[in-house]
């Protein structure tokens, strides 16, 4: 069986605005193996959310993925037609979004929002009838450790707490036993206590289910707890990648070191605070070469011109920095 589930090569997605082009994602490569968790880390504006949307081909206008390939189980998702892609969304690749309040339909009951998943992909799920759907819905709610599931399923989103809503969103995502789920900042909109609960739930799901996880976040704390492999993204480019121990114990890229240094304590789940000098660049007119060069203490002339490409610095540890050439 193929070990690699998702292989993204040279993905480029731009936004064509009236006053310029935003180079949100520029030539990134990702490789995600089956049943592994991969973290995509970066500040806001780094392009990580756009990457997730690109994979699902849900980039909103005026955005467009203009080059690259996304190989999922052998098929290039950028080349298949919309109907095929639609079948993959939700059933093979599911997504969990940041704010469960705004991402749930306010006038639909919880059970119906979950059931909708099952019914849409009913062939894949072998759904035989209403009863089947109801059983699945209850089972999912229980797996998400939602208390009083019988009552909760009749509720509307506004009647639930933040943590419950996120569990519902997770239930929806996992309803069709997808090969992979993409989580975009799943804990950011929640309060600290709930964040911990959801994180525990995610760890449990990772253990119990055979699902590949792609976690997008700026929170290094949950990356440390949940991920096997990490990609560091800055201004639309991947700067470093490696397994989670290498990244945390031995960061190579100056940006990564900057991030790790700023995490005061991993146990505190602090969001990344950038004490790195400067700001993220204007994505309509990004810096040439390595986009981090204006803020980097080790900049050389060549950094302004071009990037070296991925340089191996360890067993499964790569970085795109001239310091290691």
By the criterion CB under 8 A, which residues form the site for other proteins? 16-18, 56, 58, 60-62, 86-91, 94-95, 97, 99, 102-108, 116-117, 120-121, 156, 158-159, 169, 172
Q: How far apart are CA 65 and CA 12, in angstroms?
A: 6
Query: Which 8-state DSSP code applies to residue 51?
Result: H
Torsion-angle region of 77 (φ positive above 0: left; ψ -120 to 50: alpha; else: beta) = alpha
172/222 with CB nearer other proteins: 172
62/278 with CB nearer other proteins: 62
For the record, the structure tokens of 271 come out as 């969001």
88/213 with CB nearer other proteins: 88
Q: How far apart are CA 37 and CA 231, in angstroms?
A: 11
- Shortest distance (Å) from residue 117 CB to other proteins: 6
- Shortest distance (Å) from residue 90 CB to other proteins: 3
- Shortest distance (Å) from residue 62 CB to other proteins: 3
- Shortest distance (Å) from residue 86 CB to other proteins: 5
Residue 139, strand partner residues: none
- Shortest distance (Å) from residue 312 CB to other proteins: 35
Closest CA to 170 of 227, 209, 123: 209
Contact 274, 283 (CB under 8 A): no
- Shortest distance (Å) from residue 248 CB to other proteins: 31
Give the chain's largest Cα–Cα span. Answer: 67
Contact 148, 91 (CB under 8 A): no
103/324 with CB nearer other proteins: 103
11/88 with CB nearer other proteins: 88
Contact 236, 286 (CB under 8 A): yes
- 62 upstream amide cis, omega within 30 of 0: yes
End-to-end CA distance of the chain: 35
3-state SS assignment for residue 5: strand
5/181 with CB nearer other proteins: 181
100/251 with CB nearer other proteins: 100
- Shortest distance (Å) from residue 32 CB to other proteins: 18
For the record, the structure tokens of 302 come out as 């060549």
């Amino acid at each position: 069986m193929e070990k690699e589930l998702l292989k993204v090569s040279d993905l480029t997605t731009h936004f064509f605005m009236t006053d310029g082009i935003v180079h949100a994602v520029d030539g990134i490569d990702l490789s995600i193996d089956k049943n592994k968790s991969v973290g995509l880390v970066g500040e806001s504006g780094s392009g990580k959310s756009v990457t997730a949307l690109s994979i699902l081909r849900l980039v909103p206008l005026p955005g467009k993925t203009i080059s690259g390939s996304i190989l999922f189980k052998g098929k290039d998702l950028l080349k298949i037609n919309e109907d095929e892609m639609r079948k993959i969304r939700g059933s093979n690749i599911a997504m969990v979004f940041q704010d469960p309040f705004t991402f749930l339909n306010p006038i639909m009951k919880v059970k119906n929002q979950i059931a909708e998943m099952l019914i849409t992909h009913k062939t894949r799920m072998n759904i035989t009838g209403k009863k089947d759907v109801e059983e699945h819905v209850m089972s999912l709610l229980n797996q998400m450790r939602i208390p009083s599931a019988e009552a909760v399923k009749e509720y509307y989103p506004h009647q639930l707490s933040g943590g419950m809503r996120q569990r519902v969103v997770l239930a929806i995502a996992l309803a069709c036993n997808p090969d992979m789920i993409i989580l975009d900042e799943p804990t950011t909109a929640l309060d600290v206590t709930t964040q911990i609960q959801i994180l525990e739930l995610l760890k449990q799901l990772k253990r119990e289910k055979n699902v590949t996880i792609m976690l997008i976040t700026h929170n290094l704390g949950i990356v440390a707890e949940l991920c096997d492999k990490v990609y560091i993204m800055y201004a639309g480019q991947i700067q470093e990648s490696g397994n989670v121990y290498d990244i945390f114990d031995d960061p190579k890229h100056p940006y990564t070191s900057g991030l790790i240094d700023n995490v005061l304590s991993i146990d505190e789940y602090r969001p990344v605070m950038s004490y790195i000098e400067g700001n993220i660049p204007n994505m309509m007119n990004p810096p040439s070469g390595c986009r981090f060069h204006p803020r980097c203490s080790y900049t050389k002339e060549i950094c302004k011109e071009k990037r070296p490409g991925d340089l191996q610095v360890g067993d499964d540890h790569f970085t795109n920095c001239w310091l290691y050439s």
